Amino acid sequence: MTNQSENDRIAEATYPQVIDRLRAQLAFLVTCDRLKNVVRTTHLHDGSRAENSAEHSWHLALTALTLAEYAPPDVNLPRVVELLVIHDLVEIYAGDLYFGATDEQHDEQALQEQAAAQALFGLLPVDRRGHFQKLWEEFEAKQTSEARFAKALDALQPMLLTWGEGGKGCLEREPDLTARRLLMLKEKHLQAFPALWRWAQQMIDEATRLGTIAAG
């Protein structure tokens, strides 16, 4: 077929120039496969097992597409999705942090994550490293509308899995996580999104009534 032989000809001509780039990009993607083995403290909604950071990142991207209307009108939604797809990648080298970690643990983790970002994005062709590094820094800094909305969804999704309708709670796994403490941890990320924050509070009130979280 003409199309095929034409494609083959193009491939033949351009391949030597792209092979090094492609090899680097595919090595990056194979390394990123390891995010599927990074286990979070949150469990799936059915309680069957802990969630991993790769499927969590997918769920957040879907959450952004589904809850787009709750973002401020100036938010660039594709950017939110990009932030969410890459936001946990550094955990491949740095691991995930427990929600109740101390300030010292957070500082230590931040240093480890910076080194992890450099190592991981360093696998990419030189001219692409900056793009991924900037995305990750933007998410961490939470200074843009996109990063704030992404972070709000990242705060909301584990609540939905744990205490959303039919959720099992996490009384046994996290006996110290009371409703009061949980809402205190979540408020700073969610309060700028009134409908989401209101819903989160209502869900936790209901969970307290059902006994899947302690009032505290």
Binding-site ranges for a second copy (CB under 8 A): 3-4, 7-8, 10-11, 14-15, 18-19, 21-22, 25-30, 32-37, 44-46, 48, 51-52, 54-55, 57-59, 61-63, 65-67, 69-70, 77-78, 81-82, 85-86, 124, 128, 157, 160-161, 164-166, 191-192, 194-199
Extract the tokens encoding 191. Answer: 């309060």
Considering beta carbons, is residue 108 or 212 the nearer one to a second copy?
212
Angle at 160 between CA 157 and CA 161, to 5 degrees: 90
| Contact assessment for residue 31 and residue 156, using Cβ atoms and an 8 Å cutoff | no
Considering beta carbons, is residue 33 or 107 the nearer one to a second copy?
33
Q: How far is the CB of 81 from a second copy (least distance, A)?
A: 6
Considering beta carbons, is residue 29 or 101 the nearer one to a second copy?
29
d(CA 35, CA 30): 10
Extract the tokens encoding 147. Answer: 């990063």
| Contact assessment for residue 167 and residue 210, using Cβ atoms and an 8 Å cutoff | no
Q: How far is the CB of 92 from a second copy (least distance, A)?
A: 12
Number of CB atoms found within 10 A of residue 61's CB: 19
Considering beta carbons, is residue 84 or 182 the nearer one to a second copy?
84
Q: How far is the CB of 10 from a second copy (least distance, A)?
A: 5
Q: Which of 65, 186, 100 is nearest to 203 (CA)?
A: 186
Q: How far is the CB of 159 from a second copy (least distance, A)?
A: 10
Considering beta carbons, is residue 128 or 181 the nearer one to a second copy?
128
Extract the tokens encoding 55. Answer: 């499927």
Q: How far is the CB of 72 from a second copy (least distance, A)?
A: 12
Q: How far is the CB of 79 from a second copy (least distance, A)?
A: 9
**Which CA distances in Å does 97 have to 82, 129, 146?**
22, 25, 23
Contacts of 200 (CB under 8 A, 6+ apart): 156, 159, 183, 186, 190
Considering beta carbons, is residue 58 or 98 the nearer one to a second copy?
58
